[in-house]
Amino acid sequence: MSESHGDEQPSAPQAHATLIQETGVPSTEEALRKRHTARARSAADRTRAACRCAGVETDPGAVIAVPTEAAAKAANALRLSADALVAMAEGAPDPAADARQARNAAAASVLAARTARDRGADALSEAAYQAALKASQAAGTAAGREGLGRNEALNAEAEAAEAAAVAAARAAGWV
């Protein structure tokens, strides 16, 4: 309490939170969540597009615990990318957890890209698969111990790799 006025003064974090609420400026965690979510959505979109191009439908019956067939692996990739988006929508923003979910979506897209590449078997499909792999690796680095979803340089690299993966998927005719 302030002795001169008798009213309680907010702590610095409380004052910052109040300022954010009053000005509409998102917190750092909210801003990071938006970035990680955008990357996860993009990877999930690439997963769906690669599966569609490979002729793999989103049949929930095709999702199995240990897939061995290409179609089952692709169906699992669809489920994994959807699960990542659902997990990001729940709870308060957490940059480390959000980055892990974006990494999961990017990793799932590699499974679908492999299936589409194997069905397409041309240079553009190979390039799209390689770009998906690089996007997954960059997302993993951004989510890893060094970045924990907060490192600006690692997040920017992951975003650039995701944009390159989208461009390569488009060039392959997947998107």
pLDDT of residue 91: 84
* 9 HSE (CA, 13 A, CB side): 7
Question: What own/partner pairs with CB < 8 Å and gap ≥ 24 does 89-93 have?
Answer: 92/29, 93/27, 93/29, 93/30, 93/32, 93/33
| DSSP alpha helix (H) spans, 7-122 | 12-23, 28-53, 70-89, 95-120
pLDDT of residue 75: 78
pLDDT of residue 129: 97
pLDDT of residue 55: 82
Q: What is the mean pLDDT of each run of 10 residues along the chain (175 residues)?
A: 44 39 72 97 95 75 63 82 91 94 96 91 95 98 95 97 98 94
Q: Is 110 left (phi over 0), alpha (psi -120 to 50) or beta?
A: alpha
pLDDT of residue 76: 81
Q: Which helix (H) or strand (E) holds 162?
A: helix 152-171
The Cβ of residue 45 has, within 10 Å, a number of other Cβ atoms equal to 16
